[in-house]
Chain A
Amino acid sequence: MAHQPKDNGDTIRPHRFALLLFITILLTWGTFMVFAIRAANLSDETAGTVFAIFAPGTSGATALSTIIRAGGLPIRQNLGGMVWTAHGTAPGFAGRLRRQGAMAVLDEFPFSPQLGGCIVYAKSPRSPYSLRRNLP
């Protein structure tokens, strides 16, 4: 009699498989995010309220001084200090931020995480409870 078809599903180490799957998903996601954020980088002459993204590990003091040297005002720290919301009225603010050390300067959109239970309730950027609420 022939053996049953061989199934890796029965011999696999499940936690290792799950970990590898999620690491692969994260890496793929990260790649797409890098492309999307690069594409979203604002032109040098842009002014207004922006997101300044700094390298991981950048201290709050360094980020603050970078924003101020670029002629802007820091508004808020996001994502543990890696992303700052900053405002600068003079033209060329985005370019100056990059030259002073910001990795990327994006149009301000809320970095508020979205959540759905089994129904969707992702909030819109201008929902009453988005991060914009604290803006002057």
Chain B
Amino acid sequence: MTSSTHTAVRRPFWRDPLFIIIAGCLISLISFGVRATYGLFNDPITIAYGWNREVFAFAVAIQNLVWGIGQPLAGVVADRYGTARVLIAGGVLYVAGVALTAVSATPLAMTLSAGVLVGLGLSGASMGIVITAFGKLVSEERRSWAMGLGTAAGSAGQLLFAPLGQAFISAYGWQTALLLLAASAALLPLLAGALKTRSDGSGRERVPEIEMPFTHAMRLAFGHSSYLLLIAGFFVCGFQLAFITVHLPPYLASVGVDVSIAAWAIAMIGLFNIVGSYGAGVLGGRRSKRYLLSWLYIGRAAAIAIFISIPQTPTTVLVFAAIMGLMWLSTVPLTSGLVAVMFGTRYLSTLFGVVFLSHQVGSFLGVWLGGIMFDRFGNYDLVWWAAVALGLFAAIVHLPIVETRVQRFVATG
């Protein structure tokens, strides 16, 4: 053995996992952050163009729809052509969408910019792609932690960008504020290069994965009961979060809790969400992900059941918000981590994209049913209890999940 055999090969810093994680976290932070400011522009834009509220609301609804449908498609492209390419394309579309929102003076233009372009941008350049890139580029020992950190960064983006967006609007006007946000989103394609995967031609995947045709892999995945159970469980996550996000403030108002407490409750959720997401990632690397998910859904069901069964006071509202915050996006690193455990990372972006689509369907139903039930019965009781029942359902469906690599996805050699 010569001395040269002991020479460690040092990677350039941009290929170091640390840089990859920093870049991914920033992408997650910025993309979720800019998105979280969009509601702030409803009034300025509506007033500026003399539209009714429906125009901008429709554009944002289209944005969510395009994002949900686009996520698995972006996953397919990421698995085929590389994560970095998808992040760059998504980032460019995102920047274009946000910038064009500032000059979209007709409802159609607004729908295309704030709706379609931003939705496509989110599909390609947000947390969903970032955490699957982490799955491919970070060692198995650090994977769950990195996924938790990426999720926590997205949560932080939601919390930090909203007041920044408000301050931008106040200081510079809504059009300049949008351009400033577009400028911050311009960092997305620049950071994307750090998340190059093998399909980008980098050959940097940490774990060898089995090669099999895409359609064959999808057929195997959709024929695997554990994957279907995971999809069903994540649907519940979307239902609960979207219902609480949209309907908690009016619910509190309807039971006589001061509206400022609702605002604080939302802040508590956002703050504890960062802690919960990170903690779930850390725990997911040490404990069984399916059991953790099961406990999380039991915890959510219990928290909701207790909350709606006792008189609401500012204290109970804030305690409920803190507990829900801890369990808010903490399902994300565990769910994406389970997909990686079962099927490896070769088609992780696609398979997690499909799971995410189920989440978005649940979100849609949570918001929609909340509105329908309130209109029909004058209260949210039925939907709250549905959220409890679904939480228990999700806790149960995670138990039989087999948390090992599916045999056909085991790489040989």
Nearest-CB distance from B90 to chain A (Å)?
Answer: 16
A6 touches B40 (CB 8 A): no
A120 touches B142 (CB 8 A): no
A24–B258 CA distance with the chains assembled, in angstroms: 35
Known interface pairs A40-B167, A122-B162, A129-B250; A9-B17 also in contact (CB < 8 Å): yes
The interface size bin for chain B is: 35 or more
A117 touches B238 (CB 8 A): yes
Nearest-CB distance from B52 to chain A (Å)?
Answer: 13
Contacts of A134 in B (CB 8 A): 258-260
B38 touches A120 (CB 8 A): yes
Most chain B beta-carbon neighbours within 10 Å: one of A39, A116, A123: A116
Interface residues as binary, B51-70 with A (CB distance below 8 Å gives 1, 0 otherwise): 00000000010011001100
Nearest-CB distance from A45 to chain B (Å)?
Answer: 17
B16 touches A119 (CB 8 A): no
Known interface pairs A22-B156, A129-B262; A117-B167 also in contact (CB < 8 Å): no
Contacts of B267 in A (CB 8 A): 113
Nearest-CB distance from B104 to chain A (Å)?
Answer: 17
Task: Confirm or deny: B406 has a beta carbon within 8 angstroms of a beta carbon on chain A.
Answer: no
Binds A, one of B18-26, B373-381, B382-390: B18-26
Nearest-CB distance from B45 to chain A (Å)?
Answer: 9
Interface residues as binary, A94-136 with B (CB distance below 8 Å gives 1, 0 otherwise): 0000000000001101111111111111111111111101100
A64–B359 CA distance with the chains assembled, in angstroms: 47
The interface size bin for chain A is: 35 or more
A109 touches B360 (CB 8 A): no
A124 touches B39 (CB 8 A): yes
Contacts of B68 in A (CB 8 A): 119
Most chain A beta-carbon neighbours within 10 Å: one of B20, B43, B332: B43
Closest to B250 in A: A129
Task: Confirm or deny: A61 has a beta carbon within 8 angstroms of a beta carbon on chain B.
Answer: no
A123–B163 CA distance with the chains assembled, in angstroms: 12
A61–B10 CA distance with the chains assembled, in angstroms: 60
Which residue in A8, A36, A123 is a CB contact (below 8 Å) of B18? A8
Contacts of A18 in B (CB 8 A): 149, 152, 278
Task: Confirm or deny: B36 has a beta carbon within 8 angstroms of a beta carbon on chain A.
Answer: yes
Binds A, one of B1-9, B192-200, B223-231, B310-318: B1-9
Closest to A41 in B: B171
Binds A, one of B80-88, B241-249, B342-350, B394-402: B241-249
Most chain B beta-carbon neighbours within 10 Å: one of A22, A107, A117, A124: A117
Known interface pairs A9-B142, A25-B160; A113-B282 also in contact (CB < 8 Å): no
Which residue in B141, B149, B329 is a CB contact (below 8 Å) of A118? B329
Task: Confirm or deny: A33 has a beta carbon within 8 angstroms of a beta carbon on chain B.
Answer: yes
Most chain A beta-carbon neighbours within 10 Å: one of B29, B39, B152: B39
A133–B260 CA distance with the chains assembled, in angstroms: 9
A29 touches B160 (CB 8 A): yes
B38 touches A113 (CB 8 A): no
Task: Confirm or deny: B94 has a beta carbon within 8 angstroms of a beta carbon on chain A.
Answer: no
Contacts of A107 in B (CB 8 A): 170
Contacts of B367 in A (CB 8 A): 119, 121
Nearest-CB distance from A133 to chain B (Å)?
Answer: 5
Task: Confirm or deny: B308 has a beta carbon within 8 angstroms of a beta carbon on chain A.
Answer: no
Interface residues as binary, B160-186 with A (CB distance below 8 Å gives 1, 0 otherwise): 101110111111100000000000000
A117 touches B245 (CB 8 A): yes
A88–B40 CA distance with the chains assembled, in angstroms: 25
Task: Confirm or deny: B11 has a beta carbon within 8 angstroms of a beta carbon on chain A.
Answer: yes
Which residue in A26, A37, A110 is a CB contact (below 8 Å) of B171? A37
Interface residues as binary, A1-22 with B (CB distance below 8 Å gives 1, 0 otherwise): 1111111111010110110011
Task: Confirm or deny: A69 has a beta carbon within 8 angstroms of a beta carbon on chain B.
Answer: no
B18 touches A119 (CB 8 A): no
Nearest-CB distance from B311 to chain A (Å)?
Answer: 21
Contacts of B138 in A (CB 8 A): 9
Known interface pairs A10-B142, A14-B282; A115-B160 also in contact (CB < 8 Å): no
Q: A6-B9, A21-B22, A120-B64 are in contact. List 11 more A-B contacts (CB 8 A).
A: A4-B9, A5-B11, A9-B17, A9-B20, A10-B139, A109-B166, A113-B263, A116-B158, A117-B329, A119-B242, A129-B250
Q: Please give me the 9 A-B residue pairs with the lowest Cβ-Cβ distance, nearest first.
A: A9-B17, A122-B39, A117-B241, A124-B42, A114-B162, A40-B171, A36-B167, A39-B171, A113-B267
Q: List 12 A-B pairs, Cβ < 8 Å.
A: A4-B9, A9-B17, A10-B142, A18-B278, A21-B149, A110-B263, A112-B263, A114-B162, A117-B242, A119-B68, A120-B64, A131-B259
